[in-house]
């Protein structure tokens, strides 16, 4: 699925301002998804005006990478109660067996990040840059992540009637595995 990279065009490394601007688009699009697709009322959106050194993840985290010339990790970390609420709205009465519920709930988190990142990338207008978006992975582990070397962390929070969610961007993401563990030995 990876396309060839033109070596004459350098990897895009976002400035702190661009990263925060992209985070703003992600937060906006996440709110739209939570309300329109997840039928969950948003109480407040809290962007940040600076990058951070550490992030604490919540119970469920959906992660995807935007690769090629733009190398960026995006993670949506949700409280379990929020995921359950979004799942109820998103699944909207589709037939399912009781032993499928947990898996379909995780797929809902994956669909959420996939759709939101796609919409945010379009609004961010990265025309001229070729990139591919990975399939999402789901992490079920509330851990802390430390910033490493030149990587920048931008994160904002969304508070809803059903619980809270953290939206995190890491750029460049080359120092991290897709599980958000460090790729390189410190």
Q: Which two tokens stand for residue 58?
A: 């919540």
User: 163: alpha, beta or left, given left = phi > 0 and alpha = psi -120 to 50?
Assistant: left
x/- binding map, residues 45-74, to other proteins, per CB under 8 A? ---------------------x--------
**Beta carbon nearer to other proteins, 67 or 79:** 67
**Beta carbon nearer to other proteins, 55 or 121:** 121
Q: Does the protein bind other proteins through residue 89 (CB under 8 A)? A: no
Q: Does the protein bind other proteins through residue 103 (CB under 8 A)? A: yes
Least CB distance to other proteins at residue 184 (A): 28
Subset of residues 134 to 173 that bind other proteins, contact rule: CB under 8 A: 135
Of 107, 182, 126, 121, the closest CA to residue 149 belongs to: 182
Cβ–Cβ < 8 Å for 171, 151:
yes
Pairwise CA distance, residues 77 & 55, whole Å: 10
Q: Does the protein bind other proteins through residue 33 (CB under 8 A)? A: yes
User: What is the secondary structure of 9-34 as a DSSP string?
Assistant: SPPB---HHHHHHHHHHHHHHHHHII
Cβ–Cβ < 8 Å for 120, 26:
yes
**Beta carbon nearer to other proteins, 71 or 145:** 71
Choose the stretch contacting other proteins; rule: CB under 8 A; options: 20-28, 109-117, 142-150, 152-160.
109-117
- Distances 76 to 1, 56, 108, 119, 167 between C-alpha atoms, Å: 23, 12, 12, 15, 5
Return the residue of 59, 119, 157, 174 that touches other proteins, per CB under 8 A: 119
Footprint of other proteins (CB under 8 A): 1, 33, 36-37, 66, 90-96, 100, 103-104, 107-108, 110-111, 114-115, 117-122, 130-133, 135
């Amino acid at each position: 699925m990876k396309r060839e990279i033109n070596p004459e065009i350098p990897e895009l490394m976002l400035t702190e301002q661009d990263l925060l601007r992209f985070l703003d688009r992600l937060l906006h699009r996440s709110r739209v998804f939570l309300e329109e697709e997840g039928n969950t009322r948003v109480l407040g959106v809290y962007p940040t005006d600076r990058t951070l050194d550490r992030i604490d993840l919540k119970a469920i985290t959906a992660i995807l990478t935007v690769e090629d010339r733009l190398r960026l990790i995006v993670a949506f970390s949700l409280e379990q109660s929020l995921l359950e609420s979004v799942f109820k709205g998103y699944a909207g009465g589709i037939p399912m067996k009781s032993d499928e519920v947990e898996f379909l709930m995780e797929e809902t988190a994956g669909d959420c990040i996939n759709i939101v990142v796609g919409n945010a990338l379009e609004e961010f207008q990265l025309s001229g840059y070729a990139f591919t978006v990975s399939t999402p992975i789901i992490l079920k582990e509330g851990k802390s992540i430390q910033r490493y070397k030149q990587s920048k962390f931008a994160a904002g929070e969304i508070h809803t009637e059903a619980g809270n969610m953290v939206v995190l961007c890491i750029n460049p993401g080359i120092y991290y595995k897709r599980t958000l563990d460090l790729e390189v030995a410190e």
